């Protein structure tokens, strides 16, 4: 049974003077899936030659004006709807002014005062059946900056503007998270939802999903918010957890030594496992925000929002509940199956009109295990849902045993083909004829008189005879019938 709760299970830090709890909020930057950038027609393809996906708008050439990409707006609205958020029909783009070499305009077009998406929510599950609600403050659209490269030349830094102007959704949470594990679960849940929606591919390795992590600590039981520090540009859930742990303990040490934590931006060094100061934390007024004079306020037709809502697919939480209800799979198996949209779709094709628990067992253990070992995605699987379903049908009908089924799986994986035809051609059908099995069992008993005598004193030795029969029949004998026949004939001796 599922229990929904907004009450956190805080990670407590034992100090020398008192106990402390973590307070964590995340600003997740999710790159919008779109063929073109937010304000230009340049390509968003990752991995092209440096400065190849750059046009006059991206390079801030004089007289070039931004033109808003409607599809990016639609993707942001779709994300908001998927996160049960309010969509604001009125929003405004602002200029965030700062100088950096990878920002040709000298400002970033963002949304500070009137974001496109308002408050929403995400539910995370750390313990089976115990679900926590994490509130989202807002989501705004903004353009990404370029990338500075400092490791190419010992004396110079290089700038690649391919990423400049790509649409980002900044998803800002309330400070509802209380442990590194909750922070990681929250990011992974956001990633999962956006991948289901098709609005962000969630590729953290390429920087398409990254987060700024705000960390503070306070005495256990307090409801006061203490000074926070922001850890910038994290693109690994493992490093995020390590950074939070270090930063929280660093702040506890400062407070307990009688000092005060300074609000600042910090960077995490995976090599040392520590955060280090980057710069003092800027406030909004430091960026001299003002409405972008090149872009009119964005007014959304409510009918358009509703048309986008109609395209929202079944999301992970709802899909998980349905798989449990419809196919009888366990909570754990459902979690594994819905982790990726394609995994759940594959499972449903296999499980259709079949034993759901058996299908889940084979998809998760045999198929996923083989895919992981081979380094393949579900879309590259050598075995189709139809082929795996045929193997399960042979098991269910008693025509092959579980052991034979695993051998058959390996054959289909390596060679392909119709499982039913392979079973016939290679004579893999399970022997269920009691007369044939009785003959083999009697042979085994006749060949092992000493073991028969031992059985009379210790009936647990029946397994020896079962094993010998299975070996003689190359594993094709029906194990249940073999067991029955072994006991029957031994009892008659």
Bridge-based pairing of strands 274-280 and 3-5 is: unpaired
| 433, pLDDT greater than 70 | no
Q: Nearest 5 degrees, angle CA 65-CA 70-CA 76? A: 115
* 3-state secondary structure (DSSP) of residue 371: helix
Which run of H or of E encompasses 40? none
* pLDDT tens for each residue of 199-234: 999 999 999 999 999 999 999 989 999 999 999 999
In a 13 Å sphere around the CA of 57, the CA atoms on its Cβ side amount to 19
Question: What does residue 23 show for φ and ψ, rounded to 5 degrees?
Answer: -130, 120
> Are 204 and 188 spatial neighbours (Cβ–Cβ below 8 Å)?
no
Per domain, the residue ranges of the chain are 3-309, 316-425, 434-492
pTM: 0.88
Q: What was the pLDDT predicted at 245?
A: 96
Question: What does residue 233 show for φ and ψ, rounded to 5 degrees?
Answer: 50, 60
Domain 434-492 is in which class?
Answer: mainly alpha
Which of 218-232, 323-337, 381-395, 457-471 bottoms out in mean pLDDT, i.e. has the lowest?
A: 457-471
456 compared with 250, residue with greater pLDDT: 250
Tell me the C-alpha distance between 145 and 101, whole Å: 10
Q: What was the pLDDT predicted at 4?
A: 60
How would you class 262 by CB atoms within 10 Å of its CB: exposed for 0-12, middle for 13-18, buried for 19 or more?
exposed
User: pLDDT band at 427, cuts 50/70/90?
Assistant: confident
* pLDDT tens for each residue of 273-317: 999 998 776 777 788 999 999 999 999 999 999 999 999 999 999
DSSP per-residue letters across 82-131: HTTPPBPSEE--EEEE---TT-TTSEEEE-SSS-SB--EEEEEEEETTEE
Percent pLDDT > 90 in the chain is 74
> Are 297 and 90 spatial neighbours (Cβ–Cβ below 8 Å)?
yes
| 268, pLDDT greater than 70 | yes
| 257, pLDDT greater than 90 | yes
* pLDDT tens for each residue of 439-465: 877 888 888 878 877 777 777 777 787
Provide CB contacts within 8 A for 95, sequence distance 6+.
107, 108, 109, 110, 289, 290, 291, 292
Bridge-based pairing of strands 264-269 and 229-234 is: parallel
């Amino acid at each position: 049974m599922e229990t929904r709760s907004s009450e956190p299970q805080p990670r407590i830090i034992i100090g020398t003077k008192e106990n402390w709890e973590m307070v964590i909020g995340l600003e997740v930057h999710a790159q919008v899936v779109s063929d073109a950038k937010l304000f230009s027609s340049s390509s968003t393809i990752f991995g092209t030659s440096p400065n190849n996906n750059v046009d006059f708008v991206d390079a801030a050439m004089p007289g070039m004006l931004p033109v808003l990409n409607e599809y990016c707006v639609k993707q942001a609205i779709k994300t908001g709807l998927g996160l049960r958020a309010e969509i604001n029909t009125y929003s405004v783009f602002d200029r965030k002014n700062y100088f950096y070499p990878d920002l040709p305009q000298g400002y970033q077009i963002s949304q500070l005062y009137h974001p496109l998406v308002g408050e929403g929510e995400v539910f995370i599950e750390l313990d089976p059946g115990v679900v926590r609600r994490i509130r989202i403050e807002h989501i705004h659209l903004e353009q990404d900056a370029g990338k500075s490269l400092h490791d190419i030349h010992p004396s110079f830094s290089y700038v690649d503007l391919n990423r400049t102007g790509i649409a980002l959704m900044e998803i800002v949470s309330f400070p509802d998270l209380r442990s590194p594990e909750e922070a990681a679960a929250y990011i992974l849940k956001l990633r999962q939802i956006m991948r289901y929606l098709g609005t962000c591919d969630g590729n953290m390795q390429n920087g398409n999903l990254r987060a700024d992590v705000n960390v503070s600590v306070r005495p256990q039981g307090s409801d006061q918010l203490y000074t926070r520090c922001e850890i910038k540009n994290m693109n690994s859930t493992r490093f995020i957890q390590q950074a939070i742990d270090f930063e929280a303990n660093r702040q506890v040490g400062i407070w307990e030594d009688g000092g005060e934590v300074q609000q600042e931006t910090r960077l995490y060094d995976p090599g040392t496992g520590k955060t280090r100061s980057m710069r003092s934390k800027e406030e909004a007024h430091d960026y001299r925000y003002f409405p972008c004079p090149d872009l009119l306020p964005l007014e959304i037709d409510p009918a358009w929002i509703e048309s986008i809502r109609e395209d929202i697919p079944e999301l992970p939480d709802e899909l998980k509940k349905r798989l449990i209800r419809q196919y009888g799979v366990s909570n754990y198996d459902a979690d594994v199956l819905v982790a990726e949209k394609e995994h759940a779709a594959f499972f449903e094709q296999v499980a259709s009109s079949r034993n759901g628990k058996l299908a889940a067992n084979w998809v998760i253990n045999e198929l996923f295990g083989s895919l992981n070992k081979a380094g393949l995605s579900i879309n590259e699987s050598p075995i189709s849902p139809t082929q795996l379903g045929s193997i399960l049908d042979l098991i269910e009908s008693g025509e092959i045993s579980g052991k034979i089924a695993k051998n058959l799986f390996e054959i289909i994986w390596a060679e392909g083909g119709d499982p039913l035809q392979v079973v016939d051609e290679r004579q893999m059908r399970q022997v269920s004829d009691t007369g044939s099995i009785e003959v083999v069992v009697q042979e085994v008993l006749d060949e092992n008189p000493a073991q028969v005598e031992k059985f009379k004193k210790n009936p647990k030795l029946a397994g020896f005879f079962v094993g010998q029969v299975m070996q003689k029949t190359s594993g094709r004998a029906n194990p249940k019938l073999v067991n029955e026949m072994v006991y029957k004939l031994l009892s008659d001796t």
